[in-house]
Structures are given as structure tokens and as C-alpha cells.
Structure 1
Amino acid sequence: MGRFARIAATPAIVEFGVPACLALFVLGSLPLVNHLSPADRAPDALAAGLAGLAALSCAGRRRWPVPTLGAVTLLTTTYLLVGYPFGPILLCVALAVYSVARRRPPAPAALWCVAAFAALTPHVFVHASALPGLVGLIPASAWVAVPFTAGVARRAVLEARARERHEAERRLVDAERLRLAQEVHDVVGHGLAAINMQASIALHVASKSPAQAALALAAISRASADALAELRATLAAITPAEAHAARPPAPGLARLDDLRRRVEDAGVAVEITTRGRPRPLPNAVDTAAYRVLQEALTNVVKHSAHPRAAVGLEYGKGALTLTVINQDLAPEHTVGFGINGMRRRVEHLGGQLTAGPGEGTFEVRASLPTGAGAVR
């Protein structure tokens, strides 16, 4: 709590502390500038009042930069027209100009600063210490041009940073949306494919074989329940952190038998072959492996003319290789959201995925790194 209070207090300190310090500096320097410029009118109470007000007016530079510039310019011009010596009071003008350039768009800011410069110029022709003729405009212009340039540059830098942050946030949001869309696609697509297959079977045999239709309806019930459970687990990822306590674990290869059961309920025989010694996998790799197999088998349910799929799992030294092969009679293939989603999953973890036809078959092959550099 204390740290946040200090952060909140920082703008107030800057807003009011800087003008207070500036006022002390301007007032404290009046005796010195009087000593250095004896030809000018000696500073008195009026000079102190004008200089102090000019400095303290800068307290409004953040909220009201243009009115602040007008007030500071008026007070400084009056100070100089009376004939008081040049000095740190011009720092008040520089700070006000910088604030306008920093907090207003460049074009309007330039107009206001040009107006401020025009209001400062009359003292050049009447002040005892001013340079003669138009040459006297050079120092006055410097007190406006330099802080204006600094303010515009600072504004440009901050706007560029803001754009970078916005773009980074947009990319993160897009990536999260894509991830959630992929998760929902995998869960819902797999469930609906199984349900559609069993519903077609039930409709086909309803009048001839009620018992087989009942089995198909039971399979539909199981598939929909499993899909709803996975969908809830996926959507729980976007709930507040305190709601995650009851969230089911992410799917992994430990649930491969359940996946096979659902696919076989949908009418596709699945043969699983494992090579190497199964071992615990990083969470991200385990989930990605399950989702790849789920999507590949869903495609078999939806598209394969022969209801059989061969699934292979090979636990290598530093990688897990997955293969799903099924008979393929299609003359051509279109790469859709499912295959692109599998590829994104795998490549995000540093692996590789290929999917395409062979000699009468269609094969999905994914290699996922499982070594020390694997994403967890």
C-alpha cells in the first residue's frame, strides 16, 4: 500500500514542487542579477511579485498548459517592460513553452508559442540591456524555440512508446483469441463430429434395429458430456484467478484412452502403437500432443472413407513423435483451420508438423521437443 501511495504522490510532487523550487530560485537570484546589471531598474517588491507569480503560475502547466503559457508570458513581459534586469524569470517562459509543446498537438502548440514570442518582443525595443535593433530578438526567440523543440521531441517519443505498447497489447489479445478459438474448435469440433456420426447411425437404424439406435444415442450422450466438460475447462482459462481452484486439469496423453473410446463410439477403429518408454512430459507438450491427436482423429471421423486410424507415439531421446494415418481416397485436400491450428500449436513449442496424402493414405506427423528447452 505504501509503495502505491508513493507512486500516486509523485505527480503532485512534480506538479507543485517544480514551480515552488523555481520560485525560490528566481526570487533568490534577484539580488545577483541586480548586481550584474546595474544599468537596469533595481528589483523591488513589484519585481519580486511579478517573478514569483510567473514561477508559481507554472503549477498549472500540466492541466492548463495554454492558459499557463499566457499568464507566464504576460507577467514576464510586464517585468521586462518595467525595466527589471534579465534573469531566471525567463526560465518560467521556457517551462511554459515546453509544457504546451509536450501536451498539445504540434500545429496548435506552434501557434500558441509564436503568439507568446510575439508578446515577449516589445521589451527588446525599450529595455536598457537589450541588444540593439532586431538582433535583440535572437535571445528572446531562443527562450521559445529551444524548449518548444524539446517539448515536441518528448511528445513524439512518448507517442511512439504508446503506439508500441498498444500494438504489443493488440498482438497479445489476438494471440489469446486465436488460442481460445483453437481450443474451442478442437473440443467442439471433435464432440460434434462424434455426435453427428452417431446421430446418422441412429437415424439410419431407428426403425430396423432399435437396440442399435439406443447404443448410438448412448454414445451421443457420452460424447456430448465429454465435450461439455472439456469446453468448461477451456473457458475456465479466461475466468478470474480465484475461480481456477475448481478448474479441471488440462487434457493430456493420460486421457488418450478416453479419446480413443469416443472416436470408436463414433464408428472409427483406432489402433495405438507406442515405442520407447513413456515418461512425464512438460504440461504444454502434453496438452499439445493430446490436441493434435484429437484434431487428427476428428478429421478421420469427418472425412475418411475407411473407418480406421493408426496412431503412433514414439518417445525419443529429446522429442515425442506423433503419427496418425488413415486411408485416403480424396482426389484433393484443402488445408483448413484444424490443420493450421495443429501446426501453430506444434511450432509454438519449437516442433514441426506435416500433414498430407501418401500412397492411398493421409498422414499427420508431429514432432514435439521434450528436452530441457521444451516449453512448460
Structure 2
Amino acid sequence: MDLHRPLGPRARAAVDAVAAAVLTALPLLPLWDAMPQVPRQADVTPLAPVGFGPGSRPADAVMVVVAALAAPLARRRPVAVLSAVLGLAALSVGAAGSPAPWVAVAVVLYRVPGALPRRRAGQLLAFSLLVAALCLSGTLGWVWPHPGFGGPGAVVMACLFLATGWTAGWAVDERRRRRIEHEASRQREERLLIARELHDVVAHSLGVIAVQAGVANHVAAERPEQARLALASIEETSRTALNEMRALLGVLRTGGDDGERLPAPRLADLDGVVRRAAAAGVRVEVQLVGERAELPPGLELAGYRVVQEAVTNVVRHAGTDRCRVRLDYRPDALELTVTDEGRGGPPSGPGGGHGLAGMRERVAVHGGEFRAGRRRTGRGFEVSAVFPLAVAG
């Protein structure tokens, strides 16, 4: 038997019926009769302030059956079921000798907050409290001259039952809402993460492939050897991109549970980016400052993608044959800088793509600072990302 499998409609109805019957039958146990009661003074007033009444009556047992039948129906038609049970509870004031009818109403009120808007659910609670107070306080004493369960103490007890049932339903529904919102937020974050990964893989790979294909086409007739090198680089880049995309699509297909996954790239794996950029005609100089530290995988991936995207932009847009990547490992931060002396960075505006925005988002996730723009010292473009290691750890 799978204990984690959700219950079917029939099983849920059976559970609701049994739980409602048990809760409504609790006031009929001998424990209630053993509790202190306020003596009745029938000769003074027809509705004395009694506590629990003289004991259970057949009407109380009838309300146990009513609660068991009403609880499963309250999931779909809470207003109609509440109206019916509340009316029966009001009619039972002259015949019942325990709070069982009002426990039955509380069982139905439990379903109201989860099935109706909050304002409507609150109105139904207020109406139920009003009916209970009128029926048990003596205001309608001319209708039931000898109630078995009534008086100020009964009013307080019945209202407490109703409010408890409604509040419990509200708490359960609030927890369900928060769980749904949390799951939706988690799914949005996962989709955004996968979208970033797909963009980086596609933008980098296709950008490099486009440049290499142009080179191969340009020199195919005069320098076939160079064309073959460009085609070999295209083959390597495309295979790498296909493997990464296959892993990402596997995560999408299986939800990340058992899909094929490749090891997340790290800053130590930048040799592949350098090699592919060189095949596209851009020489990348990597400068390491400080001692390379072991960083969390998420930060390593973010740093790798920032450098990869920045180098891809140099290949595609800078119009230069070289750029510099600087990795500065400081005690409190990791600073990544990619600079070139070309004609500028990627195009901005609505048609400028998502490269810079994706880099900025990746850096912001780790509490870092991102800057991209023309160099202050002269011609060229600079991308800078600072990751605080205290936040990352």
C-alpha cells in the first residue's frame, strides 16, 4: 500500500464522514455528563443558565448521522450544506441535550474558508454565530420552552465550537495557499534558471559557429587547411552545445529527478571558451590574480557563464582579434573582468538580446555588482562582475 498516494474521491468522502461522526459524537460521551452543571430553576425562568444539559437525547444521535452525511458534501456545496445543517441545529434546540448539533455545524464550517472567498466565508461564520446565539440564549425561548441545552454557558460553548471549526479550516487553507505559492515560485525560478542556461549555451555556441562558418566560407578556396580547422572547431562547438542542451532538456523532461546531467562548468573550465574563441579568430588572454579558491558550485557556474557570455559578445560584436579576462581572487570577493579594444559591446535596446540582462541577473542572485559599458580609459568595452564571497558562502 502506497501511503504517499493521494486519496481518491470515495476514500476522502469516507474519511470526512468518519471524522465528522467521531467529532460530533464526542459530546455524547459520559465525560460530558460528569462535568459540573448549573442547577435548573424551571420555576423562575424557562431558560436557566445550564452548562451541558441533562444528557444526550435521540436528537443528538440524529445530528451525528447528519454530520457524517454532510461532511463529504461540504467540499462541493458548502453554502447549501451549511444552511441545511444550521437549520437542523436550530430546530434541535428543543430536543437535543448536548452541544452535538453545533459541533456538526462546526464540522461543516471547517470546509467554508477553503471553498469560498474570505469575505464570503467570514459572513457565513458571523451568520452561524448569530443563529447559535439567538437559539441558545433564550431570545427565542417562546419557540422552545424547555430546551435541553441552552443558556449563556451554552451560547459561549457553541460559539467556541463554531469559531474553532472555521479557524481550523482557515489555517489549513492558508497553509495550502502558501504551499501552492511556494511551488509556483520555485517553478518560476527553475524555468528562469533553465532559460538562462539555454540562452548562454545557444548564444555562445551559435555565435562562435557563425563566425567560424564565415571564416571557412571566406578562405575555403584559397586556404583549405584553415577552412578545415574552422570546420573542425564548428564540429567540436556543436557537439559540446548539443550535450549541454540534451542535459537541460533531460532536466525539463524528468523534473531533474533522474535525467542525464553533465557536471556544471566551473571557472577552471574556461580553457574551452578560450579555445573556441581562438578558433573564431579572437585570442583570449586569461590573467589570474591571487590564489584560486574553492567556491560554491552555483557561484562557479555563474562566474563561468558571465565570462562565456562576455567573450561571446567580443567574438560577435567587438570587431577585434583579442580580449583580456581577469580573475581576481580576493579574501572577501571574486572580481571577473572582460575587456577588449574593439568598437563596442553588444547592441542595446529592445532588439539587443538578453545577454547583458542575463549576466546582471546571475550576479544579482549571488548579491554581487555588475557593470557593463565602454571603457573609461579609451576605446573598447568592459564587463565587470564582483561576487562577495561572504554572501556566496
TM category, shorter:
0.7 to 0.9
1:350 aligns with 2:367: yes
Q: Which residue of 2 aligns with 1:43?
A: none
Give, in angstroms, the shift of residue 251 of structure 1: 0.7
Give, in angstroms, the shift of residue 126 of structure 1: 4.0
Give, in angstroms, the shift of residue 360 of structure 1: 0.7
**Partner secondary structure for residue 314 of structure 1:** strand
Q: Which residue of 2 aligns with 1:365?
A: 384
1:243 aligns with 2:258: yes
Give, in angstroms, the shift of residue 344 of structure 1: 1.6
How far does the alpha carbon of each residue in 1:93-130 deviate from its partner, in whole angstroms, 9 at most, with x for none? 6536634754653279479959977x969963243358
How far does the alpha carbon of each residue in 1:129-175 deviate from its partner, in whole angstroms, 9 at most, with x for none? 58xxxxx9999998987766666666555555444433333222222
Residues 20, 317 of structure 1: CA spacing in aligned structure 2 closer, same or farther, 3 A cutoff?
same
Question: What is the one-letter code of the residue matched to 1:366?
Answer: A
Give, in angstroms, the shift of residue 285 of structure 1: 2.1
**Structure 2 CA distance for aligned equivalents of residues 374 and 104 of structure 1:** 43
**Structure 2 CA distance for aligned equivalents of residues 12 and 38 of structure 1:** 38
Question: What is the one-letter code of the residue matched to 1:325?
Answer: T
Residues 286, 76 of structure 1: CA spacing in aligned structure 2 closer, same or farther, 3 A cutoff?
closer
2:106 equivalent among 71, 78, 95: 95
Measured on the aligned residues, the alpha-carbon RMSD in Å equals 4.4
**Structure 2 CA distance for aligned equivalents of residues 301 and 179 of structure 1:** 24
Structure 2: runs of 5 or more not aligned:
47-55, 75-79
2:299 equivalent among 285, 289, 292: 285
**Structure 1 CA distance for aligned equivalents of residues 112 and 345 of structure 2:** 66
1:227 aligns with 2:241: yes
**Structure 1 CA distance for aligned equivalents of residues 321 and 348 of structure 2:** 20
**Structure 1 CA distance for aligned equivalents of residues 284 and 29 of structure 2:** 85
Are the counterparts in 2 of residues 98 and 147 from structure 1 also a CA contact under 8 Å?
A: no
Give, in angstroms, the shift of residue 212 of structure 1: 2.9
1:254 aligns with 2:271: no
Residues 257, 167 of structure 1: CA spacing in aligned structure 2 closer, same or farther, 3 A cutoff?
same
Question: What is the one-letter code of the residue matched to 2:185?
Answer: R
Residues 227, 96 of structure 1: CA spacing in aligned structure 2 closer, same or farther, 3 A cutoff?
closer
Give, in angstroms, the shift of residue 354 of structure 1: 1.2
**Structure 1 CA distance for aligned equivalents of residues 17 and 320 of structure 2:** 74
Are the counterparts in 2 of residues 72 and 92 from structure 1 also a CA contact under 8 Å?
A: no
**Partner secondary structure for residue 190 of structure 2:** helix
Q: Which residue of 2 aligns with 1:36?
A: 40
Give, in angstroms, the shift of residue 356 of structure 1: 0.8
Give, in angstroms, the shift of residue 229 of structure 1: 2.1
Residues 273, 93 of structure 1: CA spacing in aligned structure 2 closer, same or farther, 3 A cutoff?
closer
Q: Which residue of 1 aligns with 2:63?
A: 54
Residues 141, 101 of structure 1: CA spacing in aligned structure 2 closer, same or farther, 3 A cutoff?
farther
Give, in angstroms, the shift of residue 283 of structure 1: 1.6
**Partner secondary structure for residue 340 of structure 2:** strand
**Structure 2 CA distance for aligned equivalents of residues 126 and 100 of structure 1:** 30
Q: Which residue of 1 aligns with 2:231?
A: 217
**Partner secondary structure for residue 127 of structure 1:** coil
Residues 161, 196 of structure 1: CA spacing in aligned structure 2 closer, same or farther, 3 A cutoff?
same
How far does the alpha carbon of each residue in 1:44-83 deviate from its partner, in whole angstroms, 9 at most, with x for none? xxx8222221234222343224447525643762561xxx
Q: Which residue of 1 aligns with 2:51?
A: none
1:374 aligns with 2:388: no
What are the equivalent positions in structure 2 for 1:1-376 lying under 5 Å apart?
Answer: 14-24=19-29, 29=33, 36=40, 48-65=57-74, 66-67=80-81, 70=84, 73-74=87-88, 77=91, 80=94, 87-89=98-100, 91-92=102-103, 94-95=105-106, 98-99=109-110, 101-102=112-113, 105=116, 106=120, 109=124, 124-129=141-146, 159-238=173-252, 239=254, 243=258, 247-330=261-344, 333-334=347-348, 336-358=353-375, 359-370=378-389, 373-375=391-393
Residues 30, 53 of structure 1: CA spacing in aligned structure 2 closer, same or farther, 3 A cutoff?
farther
Are the counterparts in 1 of residues 125 and 166 from structure 2 also a CA contact under 8 Å?
A: no
Among all aligned residue pairs of Structure 1 and Structure 2, give the percentage whose two residues are the same amino acid.
31
Are the counterparts in 1 of residues 219 and 227 from structure 2 also a CA contact under 8 Å?
A: yes
Are the counterparts in 2 of residues 346 and 367 from structure 1 also a CA contact under 8 Å?
A: yes
**Partner secondary structure for residue 128 of structure 1:** coil
Task: Give the number of aligned pairs.
Answer: 358
Give, in angstroms, the shift of residue 37 of structure 1: 5.7
Indicate the larger mover: 153-162 or 197-206. Answer: 153-162
Give, in angstroms, the shift of residue 294 of structure 1: 0.5
Residues 49, 123 of structure 1: CA spacing in aligned structure 2 closer, same or farther, 3 A cutoff?
farther
**Structure 2 CA distance for aligned equivalents of residues 34 and 141 of structure 1:** 14
Residues 196, 142 of structure 1: CA spacing in aligned structure 2 closer, same or farther, 3 A cutoff?
same
**Structure 1 CA distance for aligned equivalents of residues 2 and 364 of structure 2:** 44
TM-score normalized by structure 1?
0.76
Indicate the larger mover: 320-329 or 274-283. Answer: 274-283
Residues 207, 141 of structure 1: CA spacing in aligned structure 2 closer, same or farther, 3 A cutoff?
same
